[in-house]
Amino acid sequence: MLPLEVLEQAAAEMPDVNGTGQSAMEMSHRSADFLPIIEKTERLLREILTIPDNYSVLFLQGGAVLQFAMVPINLAGDSSGGGRKTAAYVDSGVWASKAIDEAGKYVNVRVAASSKDKNYSYIPPAPPPEAGDAYYYICYNNTIFGTRWQSPPDTGEVPLVADISSCIASEPLDVSRFALLFAGAQKNLGPAGCTVVIIRNDLLGAAPPWTPAMLRYDIHAKEKSLYNTPPCYCIYMMGLVLEWIQGMGGIDAIAGRNQRKAALLYDCLDASRLFRPPVEKPHRSLMNVTFVVNEGDAVRRAALEQRFLSEAAVQGMVNLAGHRLVGGLRASIYNAMPEEGVKSLVSFIEKFEKDLR
């Protein structure tokens, strides 16, 4: 969900941004018309996330999934012929698992911890890194299973890398605890098409010589994300969303709102006899609330889920089906979802359950 105010502003500015007589879709990425847009977006992102000066901010393409390859290539790619390096990964869900599979093409992956034993219903305790680990990788919020790290693990001198695609700008996060953060824009920052990478500058320039130019962080940092034509319109939209976050009171105000929204929904589900959140309480996501029908056999549960989804759609509540890999139900309550939307969902859940009794 995008903020309505942002969509309305973007619609009004579609043919003419900043008095240029052009849409942001039409601008040359190196022009005097576009440069203020990308510079404003980076400045706002640095302010809102409190990004230290010794980090570069990159606006890339390829989605967060491309980062599954760029991270190991740039941080641990073999350039000396001395054998593959090792990287530690915490397996906390589907996206972490996909990152593990992709990284295995370039590095020796050591799975430091996993919660697969309980269907990813919790965040596993993260053991410290081992000697020789090139970096330590986590997925901070797991959209499909609805889990979230409460705080980053302490990895000492070993660079900590995190996929924050589904929780970026949802609550304060100490960027200095991480060596590299990345996020697809499409959850909290704007439409799909742009990926934000925040990387500590001392990690730039370590990619092996065989790395394609488009996959090198140092090239994108040197060219200020303008090595090739970036996703200009998405960057423009991201700037509008970041202005909206500032107007809402900044990251602390957004976090408070997200905590209230999640508490409303989890309290409702915990009190329900019909529905059950499968995630252990200390590990519940603020962004993705998963729940399942808690009565009857598989056929009965599936029928009730479909009835729930159909009746919810009639009420204007959509995208409540769980991910296709796990089924069940899921409410993604990203930044732009207002508290009134969550209250409406809570009322619907309570009425749905009452009508079945």
- Predicted local confidence at residue 324, as pLDDT: 86
- Predicted local confidence at residue 82, as pLDDT: 61
- Helix residue ranges, H only, the chain: 4-12, 35-49, 63-76, 94-103, 217-222, 232-247, 250-271, 298-314, 339-356
Alpha-carbon 269 to chain mean position: 24
Model confidence band, residue 81 (pLDDT cutoffs 50, 70, 90): low
Of 40, 85, 95, 133, which is the active-site residue?
A: 95
- Predicted local confidence at residue 264, as pLDDT: 98
Known active-site residue 244: no
* Domain spanning 251-356, CATH class: alpha beta
Report the distance separating Cα 15 and Cα 77, nearest Å: 44
- Predicted local confidence at residue 167, as pLDDT: 98
Strand pairing partners for 180? Answer: 161, 199
Report the distance separating Cα 284 and Cα 342, nearest Å: 16
Residues 6+ positions from 254 with CB-CB distance below 8 Å: 169, 170, 171, 245, 248, 335
Q: Is 355 helix (H, G, I), strand (E, B) or coil?
A: helix
Residue 83 predicted with pLDDT over 90: no
Digit-coded pLDDT (tens) for 192-226: 999 999 999 999 999 999 999 999 999 999 999 99
Residue 171 predicted with pLDDT over 90: yes
Do 349 and 269 meet the contact criterion of CB atoms below 8 Å apart?
yes
Of 33, 91, 133, 163, which is the active-site residue?
A: 163
Known active-site residue 163: yes
- Predicted local confidence at residue 175, as pLDDT: 98
- Predicted local confidence at residue 159, as pLDDT: 98
Model confidence band, residue 79 (pLDDT cutoffs 50, 70, 90): low
- Predicted local confidence at residue 80, as pLDDT: 63
CA-nearest of 61, 137, 55, 60 to 95 is: 137
Common-topology check for domains 4-247 and 251-356: no
197 backbone dihedrals φ, ψ, rounded to 5°? -120, 130
- Predicted local confidence at residue 338, as pLDDT: 97
Residue 357 predicted with pLDDT over 80: no
Known active-site residue 98: no
Of 40, 85, 187, 261, which is the active-site residue?
A: 187
- Please state the domain extents for the chain: 4-247, 251-356
Instruction: Please tell us whether the domain made up of 4-247 is placed in CATH 3.40.430.10.
Output: no
**What integer best gives the mean pLDDT of the chain?**
96
Digit-coded pLDDT (tens) for 226-277: 999 999 999 999 999 999 999 999 999 999 999 999 999 999 999 999 999 9
User: Which of 66-80, 106-120, 161-175 shows the lowest mean pLDDT across its residues?
Assistant: 66-80
Residue 36 predicted with pLDDT over 70: yes
* 250-271 and 339-356 helices, crossing angle to 10°: 0
Within 10 angstroms of residue 284's Cβ, the number of other Cβ atoms is: 23
Report the distance separating Cα 207 and Cα 45, nearest Å: 26
Q: Which residue has the higher pLDDT, 356 or 16?
A: 16
Do 126 and 153 meet the contact criterion of CB atoms below 8 Å apart?
yes
Residue 348 predicted with pLDDT over 90: yes
Report the distance separating Cα 164 and Cα 140, nearest Å: 5
Residues 6+ positions from 125 with CB-CB distance below 8 Å: 113
Residue 346 predicted with pLDDT over 80: yes
Q: What is the mean pLDDT of residues 23-29?
A: 94
Digit-coded pLDDT (tens) for 283-326: 999 999 999 999 889 999 999 999 999 999 999 999 999 998 88
Q: What is the mean pLDDT of residues 333-341?
A: 97
